[in-house]
Amino acid sequence: MTKIRLIILIIIEIILIIFYTHNLLVKTSSNLPDINGHLFYLKTLALNRRIPFPLEGWETYQPPLFYLIMSPIYFVAFIKGFPILQTIQLFQIIIFLDFLALVFYTFAKLIKDSIMLFLTLTPFLFLPLFLYLVFIVSNEFLSTVIISLGLLLIIDIFHYDYIGIFNLLLFGLILSLAILTKYTGFILILTYISYQSILFISRRDIKSIFISILIPILLAFIFASPIYFRNYLLSGKIFPFSVSSNENKPTDQPPGYRTISSFLDFSWIWPPKLYQAKYTSVTGGTFFSFWNDDHQFFFIKEIPLNNESNIYCLITYFLTSLVIFGFFLSLLQLRRRGINSTINKISLFFSLYVFFLISAYILYNIYLPFYSTSKAIFISSVYVPVIFFFYQANNFLITKIFRKVFIILLSSVEISYLFLILKFFWK
Burial of 4 (0-12, 13-18, 19+ CB in 10 A): exposed
Range 301-315 average pLDDT: 84
> For residue 28, what pLDDT band results from cuts at 50, 70 and 90?
low
What distance in Å separates the CA atoms of residue 349 and residue 238, rounded to the nearest whole number? 27
> For residue 191, what pLDDT band results from cuts at 50, 70 and 90?
very high
pTM for the model stands at 0.91
The more confident residue out of 401 and 92 is 92
The packing angle between helices 206-235 and 185-203, to 10°, is: 160
Closest by alpha carbon to 228, among 38, 62, 395, 363? 62
- pLDDT tens-place string over residues 313-365: 999 999 999 999 999 999 998 888 877 788 899 999 999 999 999 999 999 98
> For residue 27, what pLDDT band results from cuts at 50, 70 and 90?
low
> For residue 248, what pLDDT band results from cuts at 50, 70 and 90?
very low
Range name among 106-120, 163-177, 241-255 with the lowest pLDDT average: 241-255
Range name among 4-8, 144-148, 251-255, 352-356 with the lowest pLDDT average: 251-255
Range 277-306 average pLDDT: 80
Helices H / strands E in the chain, number of each = 17, 0
Q: Would the pLDDT of 369 be above 90?
A: no
Residue 346 is predicted with a pLDDT of 93
Residue 301 is predicted with a pLDDT of 62
- pLDDT tens-place string over residues 39-95: 899 999 999 888 888 888 888 899 999 999 999 999 999 898 888 888 999 999 999
Q: Would the pLDDT of 247 be above 80?
A: no
* Beta-bridge partner residues of 255: 370
Q: Would the pLDDT of 276 be above 90?
A: no
> For residue 31, what pLDDT band results from cuts at 50, 70 and 90?
low
> For residue 423, what pLDDT band results from cuts at 50, 70 and 90?
confident
Residue 243 is predicted with a pLDDT of 57
Q: Would the pLDDT of 300 be above 60?
A: no
The more confident residue out of 403 and 223 is 223
Q: Would the pLDDT of 246 be above 70?
A: no
Residue 277 is predicted with a pLDDT of 84
Return the top range by mean pLDDT from 93-97, 248-252, 256-260.
93-97
Residue 205 is predicted with a pLDDT of 67
Residue 250 is predicted with a pLDDT of 45
Instruction: Spell out the residues 6+ positions from residue 288 whose beta carbon is closer than 8 angstroms to its own.
Output: 268, 272, 273, 274, 275, 277, 278, 294
Q: What percent of the chain has pLDDT over 90?
A: 46
Per DSSP (E only), the strands in 30-117 are: none
In whole numbers, what is the pLDDT of the chain averaged over residues? Answer: 87
198 close to 339: Cβ distance less than 8 angstroms: yes
